[in-house]
Amino acid sequence: MRHSMRDAFWSAIHSLPESFWRQFTWLGDSGLLLPAALLIAVWLASARHTWSAAWAWVLIFGGASSAVLASKLAFLGWGIGSASLNFTGISGHTMLSAAVWPVALWLVASRGTHRLRVALAIAGWLLAAGIGVSRLALFAHSWSEVVSGFLLGACASAAFLAVQHRMPHPRLRASMVVLSLLLPLVYQQPGNAAPTQGLLERAAVRLAGIERPFTRGDLLGREGKAL
C-alpha cells in the first residue's frame, strides 16, 4: 500500500513536463519572495496603527529566514547534515512560500471579510505545498528538506496571523498590494532563479576556510548512502 501510494505520487508528478515544474517553482524563488516579504513589512508600516504588526512580521519572518540560512551554511561550510534523512538544509523555496504567500494573500484581502482573508491564507499554504512538490519533482531537495521548510514557513505565517489578529487591522487596496508584489517582475524574468545558492556557497567557503562547499554526494558517500 505504501509503495503503491509512493508510485502513484511520482507518476502524477512525472505526468507533467519538467518545464512546467521549473516555471512553477519560481513562485518560491528568493528573487520574488524576499522583496515580497519586504513589501509586506512596508505596507504594514505605512500606517501608525499597524506598526506593531510590521515589527511582528519582521521578527517572525527574520527568525524563520535565519534558520534556513544557518542550516544551509552549516552544511555547505562544515558538512553538518543527516545522511539517514538525506538532509542538507531546510528548503528555502518551500519555507519562503509557506511564510510569505499566506500573509501576502491575506494582505490582499485586508478590506474583505474575515472568511475571505482566512480562505486566501489557506490558499497560500496550499500554493506553498505545491511549490514544495515542485522541489521534489526537480530533484532539488529531499523529502526531509521540503517538509522541514514547509513546517517552518507555515509556523511562521500562522504565528504572524495569530499575533496580528489581536492587533489593529490594516485596510489596504487589493490592487495596490498586488501591483507592489509584482514589482520583482521588472528586473527578473519568471523562471530565472536568483543566484542565492551560489552566494551561499561562496559565503560558506570563506567562513569555513575550505576549498569548495560540501555537496549532497559528500554527505551520502561519507556514510555509505545512496540517493
Region 195-224: mean pLDDT is 90
Task: Please give the grid coordinates belonging to residue 68.
Answer: 534556513
Distance CA 150, CA 92 (A): 9
- Residues 77 and 68: beta-carbon distance below 8 Å: no
Give the pLDDT band of residue 168 (cuts 50, 70, 90): confident
pLDDT digits (tens, 9 = 90+) for 73-97: 999 999 999 999 999 999 999 999 9
pLDDT in tens, 60-72: 999 999 999 999 9
Determine the residue type at 13.
Answer: I
Confidence (pTM) = 0.92
Alpha carbon distances (Å) from 28 to 20, 89, 98, 188, 197:
14, 16, 9, 13, 14
Contact 89, 152 (CB under 8 A): no
Distance CA 202, CA 184 (A): 24
Would you say 214 and 78 are in contact if contact means Cβ atoms under 8 Å apart? yes
Q: State yes or no: pLDDT of 101 exceeds 60.
A: yes
